[in-house]
Amino acid sequence: MNETTLSVAYHEAGHAVVFLYFGVRVDELPCGPEGGHCRPSRTPSPRVCSLVSVAGSLAAQMAGLPDARYPSDADVEYGLEALGDLACCPEENKTRLVECERLLAKCWPQVEYLARELAAGGLDADSLGALCRRPGSPLAMYAPLYPGSDCRFERTFQQPTRRRLRRSSGVVTVSSHRGIF
């Protein structure tokens, strides 16, 4: 596999995982040696946009790859647009970088998994949803963003204990019952 393709895959995976982390569905994720693009289903908050803008380059750097797209004009424009007047503030930029670096470190297994899949080719919403629903996938926590007919979520919730007092021949007993619904 070509180093440029791998670098672009990590770059786009960084963007996508930050979107997913904040509950923004990614509808399209084309990726190839010539570049890629991460298209979200909606425009998130300015804070999320600013984190997404630096996530791509940071992910490629964290993987130890030269980022072939650094700094991408589209990424810079996206981040500047999101930050507005704060874009010129060095402290805001440093805070954003540190926050994004921590977030990517926390989500690194998801970034690596998605980058490996992206290096083989781009993903659309259906294939990204299938990837999230794949058994054992590190992206499984994002599956609710991609509901599909083959997606079944089985969750059991434990009800609080219900205590009943029973009186029988003058003796009080307490019974507990836990139900699953």
Instruction: State the CATH number of the domain containing residue 120.
Output: 1.20.58.760
Whether residue 154 is contained in a domain is answered as no
> pLDDT, tens digit, for every residue of 109-130?
999 999 999 998 888 889 999 9
Whether residue 177 is contained in a domain is answered as no
> pLDDT, tens digit, for every residue of 127-179?
999 999 999 999 999 999 998 734 443 333 333 344 444 455 555 544 444 44
Whether residue 69 is contained in a domain is answered as yes
Whether residue 62 is contained in a domain is answered as yes
Whether residue 163 is contained in a domain is answered as no
Residue 121: give the domain boundaries.
Answer: 3-145
pTM of the complete model beyond 0.85: no
**Number of domains the chain is built from:** 1
Farthest-apart Cα atoms in the chain, separation: 83
Whether residue 173 is contained in a domain is answered as no
**Can you tell me the distance from the alpha carbon of 89 to that of 170, in angstroms, rounded to the nearest whole number?**
76
Residue 147 confidence (pLDDT): 85
